[in-house]
Amino acid sequence: MANILALVEHRQGTIRDITYELLTYGRKLAEKMDGKLTGVILGHNTGDFTESVKKHAHRVVVADHEVFKDFNAETYQHALADIIQKENPFLTLIGNTAFGIDLCPALATQLGVPFTTDCIGVEIADKKVRVTRQLYDGKMDAHVYLSEGPSYMLTLRSGTCAAEEGNLTADIQKIEASITSQPDYKKFVEYIEAAVGDVDITKADVLVGVGRGIKEQANMSMIEDFAKAIGGVVACSRPIVDANWLPKDRQVGSSGKTVKPKLYIAVGISGAFQHIAGMKNADTIIAINKDPNAPIFNEADYGIVEDLFKVVPALKNKIMEMKQ
């Protein structure tokens, strides 16, 4: 029997989506090994969190204290180290997010536990842990065996599995916070929401995401016209922001915005995982790309393999025709 711990990540009073992916993945792994999944909540006024998490785990351990209201890798490391030492799980799962990357290496080092980050798959056989990680911008997968240890730890990339509805009723165990103040050398000061520009792409129902396939800034007006014709808003991949063709608040992806429009049309976007992370939950995804092997087609509900400079004007004209 091998038990698994999964850390519940929250921000601004809301559990983050990655948590439910971790809980789904962790529960399946634990059940395969006849073990139990324990969700760990470090937070303040955690009633609602506990209610949500208990459907997804066999047990929930909750440390409720003001010090955990906002994430601080130092307080989290202290509290989690304590919990892991007591619980002695086979594996601890943490989201591969800004929080998780800040926390996991220091925590694993403190505990002397083998760890790896940014995993997209985990297999456990004969008590050996083999993880899958991507190399060269997602072009290759590497299988990595963790060296043998008393326990293991890893961060799981968002999108590794789809979050499923939970139907469990976890046992809840409330514990005392083992740390009650932030260290002087690293304190949470305030949460600053990124400024929203003239357009908030997170609120749009229809987004036209434009990528490096657009080639030149002069061609951006074609995308603007198309977006206007279908009543949408233009978003983009990171190279477009790097080239200063659109402001940062239009960038979709792991270092940009997460969007959930009804329709996302990816134009000349290859589908790097950093981009996918931001748009994979769109209701319908259409991809236009001349490369039939572009990874974006793995996510798309509909794909058009063709030169975007032919497809976009043709679509726009058709829509204008239908409108008339």
Does 158 bind ligand FAD (CB under 6 A)? Our answer is no
Is residue 210 a contact partner of residue 226, using CB atoms and an 8 Å limit? no
Interface residue with ligand FAD among 16, 250, 275, 316 (CB under 6 A) is 275
When asked if residue 309 is in the footprint of ligand FAD (CB under 6 A), the reply is: yes
Nearer to ligand FAD, 33 or 222 (CB): 222
Q: How far is CA 60 from CA 20, 148, 175, 233, 321, in A?
A: 13, 27, 10, 42, 57
Q: Of the ranges 78-86, 95-103, 117-125, 207-215, which one interacts with ligand FAD (CB under 6 A)?
A: 207-215
DSSP states of 293-323:
T-THHHH-SEEEES-HHHHHHHHHHHHHHHH
Strands 10-11 and 263-267: unpaired
Under the binding rule (CB under 6 A), the answer on residue 291 touching ligand FAD is yes
- Interacting residue with ligand FAD among 239, 250, 263, 264 (CB under 6 A): 239
Letters for 106-145 (x = contact with ligand FAD by CB under 6 A, - = none) are -------------------------------x--------
The residue among 198, 192, 302 whose CA lies nearest residue 249 is 198
The verdict on 92 binding ligand FAD (CB under 6 A) reads no
Total binding residues toward ligand FAD, as defined by CB under 6 A:
28
**Residue with the two structure tokens 């990171």:** 238
Rounded to a whole number of angstroms, the minimum distance from the CB of residue 237 to ligand FAD is: 3
* C-alpha radius of gyration, the chain, whole number: 22
Expressed in percent and rounded to 5, the helix, strand and coil fractions of the chain are 35, 25, 40
Record the tokens describing residue 294, joined without a space. Answer: 């572009």
The encoded tokens of residue 150 equal: 């008393």
Question: Which range touches ligand FAD (CB under 6 A), out of 58-66, 94-102, 192-200, 289-297?
Answer: 289-297
With respect to ligand FAD, which residue has the nearer C-beta, 148 or 291?
291
**Residue 303 interacts with ligand FAD (CB under 6 A): yes or no:** no
- Which residue in this structure is represented by tokens 């603007």? 224
For β-strands 302-305 and 284-289, DSSP reports them as parallel
Distance of closest approach, residue 45 Cβ to ligand FAD, in angstroms:
32
Residue from 92, 101, 51 nearest 71 by CA: 101
The only residue of 73, 151, 254, 265 in contact with ligand FAD, by rule CB under 6 A: 254
Which of residues 94 and 259 has its CB atom nearest to ligand FAD in the complex?
A: 259
Q: Which of 107, 170, 272, 282 binds ligand FAD (CB under 6 A)?
A: 272
What is the phi/psi pair of residue 29, to 5°? Answer: -65, -45
Q: According to CB under 6 A, which one of 307, 313, 318, 320 is a site residue for ligand FAD? A: 307
Footprint of ligand FAD (CB under 6 A): 137, 211-213, 237-239, 251-256, 268-270, 272, 274-275, 278, 288-291, 294, 307-309
